[in-house]
Chain A
Amino acid sequence: MLLLPLLLPALSALASAVEVKRPRGVSLTNHHFYEESKPFTCLDGSSTIAFEWVNDDYCDCQDGSDEPGTSACPNGRFHCTNAGYRPQYIPSSRVNDGVCDCCDATDEYNSGFVCENTCKEMGRKEREALAQMAEVAREGFQLKQVLIEEASKGREDKQRTLAELQEGRKSLEEQVETLRSVKEAAEKPEKEAKEIHQKKWEEQKAAEKAAQEQARASDAFQELDDDGDGLVSVAELQTHVELDVDGDGTLSETEAQTLLGNALQADASSFRDAVWAAIKENYKPEGLPDAAPLPEAPEPQPDLPLEQPAPEDDYDEEEEEEGDDDESNEEEPKVPPPKQPADKTAEEDEAEKMPPYDEATQALIDAAQKAREQFEEAEKSLKEMEDSIQSLEKEISFDFGPQGEFAYLYSQCYELSTTEYVYRLCPFNRVSQKPKNGGAETNLGTWGSWAGPEENKFSVMKYEHGTGCWQGPNRSTTVKLTCGKETVVTSTTEPSRCEYLMELVTPSACQEPRDPGAADHDEL
């Protein structure tokens, strides 16, 4: 897990070109501390020992500096020159441990384990890799410049568009207001005309109803006036037991008298004006059979069967459900559904339909309708414009990097297909995962923030608050950006439960290549 810097430290590379005799495991830089002719003082100054005790495989210095070439000190370090590659310090515990740590094999001098010197090969590979990276970085960086330019242009465009839209919005808002006034102005006479029309029609309806009522009263009077004397008497009234007041099944004389306005009889006009009102609710025309009163509401069906099953018993519950079905399917259908209200309302609707508006009113309505439509149209345009403004403002508000180089990722999506899932990264929006063999998409996080280290903030994106995990956090995704010529998601892993790691290669992550050829200088 070596971090390869782009440049090798040129100084040490140059210095190590000259081989100098020094105690094992000491770097050239520290060489001067180890003088064979003098006692050795630990680098921390803690004590001074005979020089023979340096690298004698016994730890004398607290800082481990007396044993640079052995494994004796727990906190010591061993320097490998690694000619052809990069010099390196390894912990003393890796000296003679049977594992090759230094490419020049100097760490395994007494373990019986033979290591090969691989520094040249590693150096070559590293240089190749560096060269390749440099090439990629160079090309990537060029692409980045284009992206930056586009972004800057795009941003200008967008800002201009935004400005235009904002300008447009003002006039549109004014227009909307104007149209609103027009609409309201047109609606006022419309409303008045409609109200007049309505009122007129209602009056007409009331008159018709009164006439109908009078007709029914006359009919009833005719019917009741059995002897045709132009008067309805108590006895005549008593033939209609349905008018029974106290519910004892007969209409007594007193009751009948009361109904007749405390009189023994009523003439046609007093019947119509006073008596009819008292009896019309219960009065039944004589032509109709008694047995067919107004259909009654059906008896309410109990929601549950009377036998309550024991709760918590699934088996019984199933039976219960079946029972319900039985009742509804077999018993109820035998009773024809009551149909009275439907027919009647249909007729009444027909009768109660308002007559068409007169021409003048209709003209007012048409005018108002037109004003409304125009207003709504304008309002809709305004809404759309506001949406555009909002989305533009949102886009402009995103931090697309110091030079806007990441702007091109906005509103794009990139996919990576693994054996099980298709991962989808929509930068600045969200990350998701969809199983290949069908199934719902899982949200792995929505855009949070740039989350790279301070010096390189734009190297990492963080997407948060995805779908929750059982016993765990909400899913989140870290996207690492690395330099490349294309924009592509190269890997997705889940290093920890519900915490995803994605790698996105993009030219925008490319840094400016340093002085070309500098990388070649560490050739030794």
Chain B
Amino acid sequence: MALRPVLQALPAGSCSLLHTSVKGPCPSPPPRAASEAAPARVTARLGMAALTWMALCLAATFAVDRSNFKTCEQSSFCKRQRSVTPGSSPYRALLESLQLSQDSMKLQLVNEVNKVPLLLELYGLQGNMTRIKINELSPLRPRYEVPDVLVRDPPTTWLAVTGRDENSVELSLGDSGHKLILTGKPFRMDLLQGRELVLSVNPRGLLHFEHLRHRKDSFSDKVSSSVGSLWDKIKSLFYREEPKESAPEGGAAGEETEPAVPGEQESSEKSTKSEEVSDGPDRAEEELGSWEETFKTHTDSKPNGPTSVGLDFSLPGFEHVYGIPEHADNLRLRTTEGGDPYRLYNLDVFQYELYNPMALYGSVPLLLAHNTQRTLGIFWLNAAETWVDISSNTAGKTLFGKMLDYMQGGGETPQTDVRWMSESGIIDVFLLLGPAPTDVFRQYTALTGTQALPPLFAMAYHQSRWNYNDEEDVAAVDDGFDTHDIPCDVIWLDIEHTDGKRYFTWDPSKFPQPRNMLGRLAAKSRKMVSIVDPHIKVDSGYRVHNEIRSRGFYVKTKDGSDYEGWCWPGSSGYPDFTNPEMRAWWASMFSYDQYEGSMENLYIWNDMNEPSVFNGPEVTMYKDALHQGGWEHRDLHNLYGFYVQMATAQGLEQRSGGLERPFVLSRAFFAGSQRYGAVWTGDNAAEWDHMKISIPMCLSLALTGISFCGADVGGFFKSPDAELLVRWYQVGAYQPFYRAHAHLDTVRREPWLFGEENKALIRAAIRQRYALLPYWYTTFYHSYRSGQPVMRPLWVEYPDDITTFSIDDQFLIGNALLVHPVTEQGAQGVQVYLPGKGQVWYDVHSHQKHHAPQTLYVPVILSSIPVYQRGGSIVPRKERVRRSSDCMYRDPYTLYVALSPQGTAEGDLFIDDGHTYNFESKAQYLHRHFSFASNTLTARSSDSKGIFESPAWIERVVILGAGKPAAVFLRQPGMAETRLDFHHEPETSVLTLRKPGVNIGADWSISLR
């Protein structure tokens, strides 16, 4: 959740509106944050004064206020990097400096203009990966290298020099058969497999590494920063346009003193003067906001000057690229020429807009490229603000144009070019060479870890709202689910449950007996999630604050005092989660004696961990704030949320002595966040487009390792009508994280508040989710084991079917279920693409068989959720849907065997206790394998290491696409064959075997005769 008309609008806008030259905490008039201890109910009802004030601050339209967030043009390093033009790289590799060890190669690069030497390190990594690191050979100060994201030092493989001439070196990379040709001048690297060029590094010469330097005695140096910002203001008075960066002051290198070219003209001028620009960027470093940068009312002091890094890659033969979440955009990335690059900078964006490259709450700097031959990935391990430009030589071409090229044999090979630009740190990039999609997922998760296996309840249905008012309200909602016979596992409490937004506390009048409340839920096997945000109320009467302050755990300002910003509680400190001691202390706060009122069935939600700072630049922290080790916030901004979730998850683990698996939902994330829990797509809105975009948003996350993703069902802002709500429950039922949530100002929307008919539809959708929990759980287990995404784009399973490459209105769960949720208002039908040459798909509701590939028009009514099971798969279900997942633990399974055209099928099932680490530490699990061939269904263990006793049994086997047998026999080792009753539907070719009754852990076979 997050509001925040008031405060979101606050940061830059209102501060500057109301109090001109005041920097620092915005003395906001009556925002909820300001009112001491004001429970939001109060502030919610706040008088007209606040309302009027809000009205002033709010744009009338429902959309993001774009001016609160930077464009590339307004982010000085992005502007500088982008001003580097192709074809004139000043960098040369000093081939004579090459040093080869068993697993790595080191080599110096030199910028021939400024003579600053860089160190290039190249590692061949096991599993078909290559790592390239570029840093300064001897930087003035160490540059930030991202810690804690890689699960370990990636194991390396051998490297060998296999060829050499005066301007290049050829290296062989391990056993993968890849070769790398490193060219000295201009510096570039080309990666080949056989004779095929796979990928090039720096082919356009956009490598641009701003070395650390001492500040020159320039004009801007002489003016104090306050005068400087005043100067900016004065200038902005005269120029009614974007404030320009400090005026160039002669003396740098004696080149023509041409002022910085404003963006619009830049591109046109570039082409004509690309030659002379060659030394431009360096000069630009001195000019363009290098030592100070002002955005709106906020000034970034930049004591280290320009530190950005940038590099380009070419992907010949690739037209489809994916990944680099989080953006509210299509699955397939678009080219960014003529617009802003995709931005990665974790931000709390109020009422975000769809279909644009603006930054959102989280960042994963992994880009995937895919064609029919190969999938590969570029993982840019940098936690600073990052922008990614994508261009393509086919972007403008029509399909016909491409065909013409092809037929004429001419035309270029389609190619995508990617350019990464980060504000600080080093270049540390991993080339994941596939070649199959599954390989890339394995490679990436070998580096950053796989999806944590969530406790089973976390995959079930969650009921949330900002806010359930009090214990009575919670009890009524809990009862409501039983009264209306709708399953629900978790009820959530947003910020209003706390005592004045002091996390780890409870509002004494609304939640006086939290343990009673939790006990009441536990009696129905239900759980609760409470919110714990990382901003800590500055209040000397608040123990958490006092401890963090006295231990020196807060993030510091550039002057060394505790940094304070505005957030929900008013003035707040931000614990330095990058400090391992701080994280250990934070984790200890979740023990039952520290977090009073908590119990085993209470789990945690971390919101606002971008971090969100209502009065900070772009609603976040100053970049010159300081973290442990003296690192600037600039260096590690995108890691903050990752660390918050990490520390919280560790806390939940520790409170059970390391036995229980945690559940933590986070809004911000980074590469590797998959190890700590779930994420959601933040503060969306009750609009059809927002529901629709949840599919590509979660697919993009899934491709980059984060499988446990969902969107607020119903939409956070605004109130959905019944049709949208019903449809959203249907969409959410087939997405990994399934939580309904709503803004404080919306009308109540528990599933039973929309009439009997809609209630029944919602109930049916949630029940479908619960019936499929065994399949979800098994698919998550695979993700945990092998890094394969839970929710998958079609191309992942059908990599040579070009039709699938741009599909993002339907998706797969695992490899067996294809879902095309209805996302159009008033839909009469949907076009479902069924992939797979020579394959068949079965409608899971009607069991009707469809041949693939084809685009199928499926008529729909309000109850329809088009879902198909792939012929050749076996999906386990539990069809006795109960009030919570835990209540279904002992229940029997039904196996859905969908026969391929060849009459075969395969599937598996993972079972453990559903909530502990015993599956890992004690191998207490069952991994069962089912296969159907030659009219015989066989169950055996898929992993003999796992041993687990389950009370569950098999009550039914449903075989789709089967003929009618004369008889059906069940055979178990050491027992006489028994006959099974069965029922055959000739119209749909569905054969139902009655009550095999075997334990789920047993080996058996069933033959149709």
Residues of A within 8 A of B (CB): 1, 56-58, 60, 71-72, 74, 91-94, 96-99, 111, 310, 313-315, 419-420, 433, 435, 439-440, 442, 467, 469-473, 493-497, 499
Asked if B21 and A315 sit within 8 Å, CB to CB, the answer is yes
Asked if B45 and A1 sit within 8 Å, CB to CB, the answer is no
Complex-state Cα separation, A315 to B16, whole angstroms: 10
Report the count of interface residues on B (CB-CB < 8 A): 51
Select which of B20, B233, B524, B879 is within 8 A of A99 by beta carbon: B524
Residues in chain A near residue B887, CB distance under 8 A: 93, 97-99
B745 beta carbon closer than 8 Å to chain A: yes
B882 beta carbon closer than 8 Å to chain A: yes
B632 to chain A, nearest CB (A): 30
Q: Which of B46-54, B575-583, B968-976 forms contacts with chain A?
A: B46-54
Residues in chain B near residue A499, CB distance under 8 A: 747-748
Residues in chain A near residue B20, CB distance under 8 A: 313-315
Select which of A58, A94, A440 is within 8 A of B48 by beta carbon: A440
Asked if A439 and B47 sit within 8 Å, CB to CB, the answer is yes
Residues in chain B near residue A433, CB distance under 8 A: 45
Residues in chain B near residue A91, CB distance under 8 A: 485
Task: Give the residue name and chain of the A residue nearest to B479 (CB).
Answer: A1
Residues in chain A near residue B525, CB distance under 8 A: 97-99
Nearest 3 Cβ contacts at the A-B interface? A496-B748, A97-B887, A314-B20
Residues in chain B near residue A97, CB distance under 8 A: 525, 882-883, 887-888
Task: Give the residue name and chain of the B residue nearest to A473 (CB).
Answer: B747
B803 beta carbon closer than 8 Å to chain A: no
Residues in chain A near residue B955, CB distance under 8 A: 57-58, 72
Asked if A470 and B54 sit within 8 Å, CB to CB, the answer is yes
Q: A60-B994, A97-B888 are in contact. List 20 more A-B contacts (CB 8 A).
A: A56-B995, A58-B956, A71-B891, A72-B955, A74-B879, A74-B881, A99-B523, A99-B887, A111-B890, A310-B237, A315-B21, A420-B39, A420-B41, A470-B51, A472-B745, A472-B747, A493-B473, A495-B469, A497-B748, A499-B748
B:458-501 near A, CB below 8 Å = 469, 472-473, 476, 479-480, 482-483, 485
The contact sample of 9 A-B pairs, CB cut-off 8 A, is A58-B955, A97-B883, A97-B887, A98-B886, A310-B237, A435-B42, A442-B47, A471-B5, A497-B745
B100 beta carbon closer than 8 Å to chain A: no
Asked if A71 and B880 sit within 8 Å, CB to CB, the answer is yes
B744 beta carbon closer than 8 Å to chain A: yes
Asked if A469 and B745 sit within 8 Å, CB to CB, the answer is yes
Complex-state Cα separation, A499 to B524, whole angstroms: 30
Asked if B890 and A94 sit within 8 Å, CB to CB, the answer is no
Interface centre among A94, A98, A419, A473 (most CB of B within 10 A): A98
Select which of A1, A60, A471, A495 is within 8 A of B473 by beta carbon: A495
A362 to chain B, nearest CB (A): 56
B856 beta carbon closer than 8 Å to chain A: no
Asked if A442 and B882 sit within 8 Å, CB to CB, the answer is no
Residues in chain A near residue B473, CB distance under 8 A: 493, 495
Complex-state Cα separation, A99 to B891, whole angstroms: 14
Complex-state Cα separation, A42 to B369, whole angstroms: 58
B:867-889 near A, CB below 8 Å = 879-883, 886-888
Asked if A494 and B469 sit within 8 Å, CB to CB, the answer is yes
Interface centre among A58, A111, A473 (most CB of B within 10 A): A58
Q: Contacts A93-B881, A310-B237 hold; do A496 and B891 have CB atoms under 8 A apart? A: no
Asked if A497 and B883 sit within 8 Å, CB to CB, the answer is no
Interface centre among A94, A99, A495, A499 (most CB of B within 10 A): A99
Residues in chain A near residue B995, CB distance under 8 A: 56-58
Residues in chain A near residue B767, CB distance under 8 A: 74
Complex-state Cα separation, A3 to B876, whole angstroms: 39
Residues of B within 8 A of A (CB): 5, 17, 20-21, 39, 41-42, 44-45, 47-48, 51, 54-55, 233, 237, 469, 472-473, 476, 479-480, 482-483, 485, 509, 523-525, 718, 744-748, 767, 879-883, 886-888, 890-892, 955-956, 994-995
Residues in chain A near residue B480, CB distance under 8 A: 1
Asked if A440 and B47 sit within 8 Å, CB to CB, the answer is yes
Task: Give the residue name and chain of the A residue nearest to B50 (CB).
Answer: A470
Interface centre among A313, A435, A470 (most CB of B within 10 A): A470
Residues in chain A near residue B882, CB distance under 8 A: 71, 93-94, 97
Q: Contacts A91-B485, A93-B880, A419-B509 hold; do A497 and B44 have CB atoms under 8 A apart? A: yes
Complex-state Cα separation, A469 to B44, whole angstroms: 9
Complex-state Cα separation, A469 to B747, whole angstroms: 12
Task: Give the residue name and chain of the B residue nearest to A60 (CB).
Answer: B994
Asked if A1 and B48 sit within 8 Å, CB to CB, the answer is no
Select which of B5, B39, B883 is within 8 A of A93 by beta carbon: B883
A438 to chain B, nearest CB (A): 11
Residues in chain B near residue A71, CB distance under 8 A: 880, 882, 891
Complex-state Cα separation, A494 to B47, whole angstroms: 17
Asked if B42 and A420 sit within 8 Å, CB to CB, the answer is yes
Residues in chain B near residue A493, CB distance under 8 A: 469, 472-473
Interface centre among A1, A92, A439, A497 (most CB of B within 10 A): A497
Q: Contacts A99-B883, A440-B47 hold; do A1 and B483 have CB atoms under 8 A apart? A: yes
Asked if A470 and B5 sit within 8 Å, CB to CB, the answer is yes
Task: Give the residue name and chain of the A residue nearest to B879 (CB).
Answer: A74
Complex-state Cα separation, A97 to B885, whole angstroms: 10
Complex-state Cα separation, A235 to B479, whole angstroms: 115
B115 to chain A, nearest CB (A): 46
Residues in chain A near residue B892, CB distance under 8 A: 57
Task: Give the residue name and chain of the A residue nearest to B771 (CB).
Answer: A74
Residues in chain B near residue A92, CB distance under 8 A: 880
Select which of B523, B744, B881, B890 is within 8 A of A96 by beta carbon: B890
Complex-state Cα separation, A62 to B524, whole angstroms: 28
Asked if B883 and A94 sit within 8 Å, CB to CB, the answer is yes
Interface centre among B54, B744, B880, B886 (most CB of A within 10 A): B880
Residues in chain B near residue A111, CB distance under 8 A: 890
B36 to chain A, nearest CB (A): 11
Complex-state Cα separation, A71 to B42, whole angstroms: 47
Task: Give the residue name and chain of the B residue nearest to A472 (CB).
Answer: B745
Task: Give the residue name and chain of the A residue nearest to B21 (CB).
Answer: A315
Residues in chain A near residue B44, CB distance under 8 A: 497
Complex-state Cα separation, A314 to B17, whole angstroms: 8
Residues in chain A near residue B469, CB distance under 8 A: 493-495
Residues in chain B near residue A93, CB distance under 8 A: 485, 880-883, 887
Residues in chain B near residue A467, CB distance under 8 A: 48
Residues in chain B near residue A495, CB distance under 8 A: 469, 473, 748
Residues in chain B near residue A313, CB distance under 8 A: 20, 233, 237
Complex-state Cα separation, A440 to B886, whole angstroms: 49
Complex-state Cα separation, A471 to B61, whole angstroms: 12
A92 to chain B, nearest CB (A): 8
Residues in chain A near residue B476, CB distance under 8 A: 1
Q: Contacts A91-B485, A440-B47 hold; do A72 and B880 have CB atoms under 8 A apart? A: yes
A180 to chain B, nearest CB (A): 46
A501 to chain B, nearest CB (A): 11
B983 to chain A, nearest CB (A): 9
Complex-state Cα separation, A435 to B890, whole angstroms: 52
Complex-state Cα separation, A96 to B479, whole angstroms: 19
A390 to chain B, nearest CB (A): 31
Complex-state Cα separation, A93 to B882, whole angstroms: 5
Select which of B524, B890, B994 is within 8 A of A58 by beta carbon: B994
Residues in chain B near residue A56, CB distance under 8 A: 995
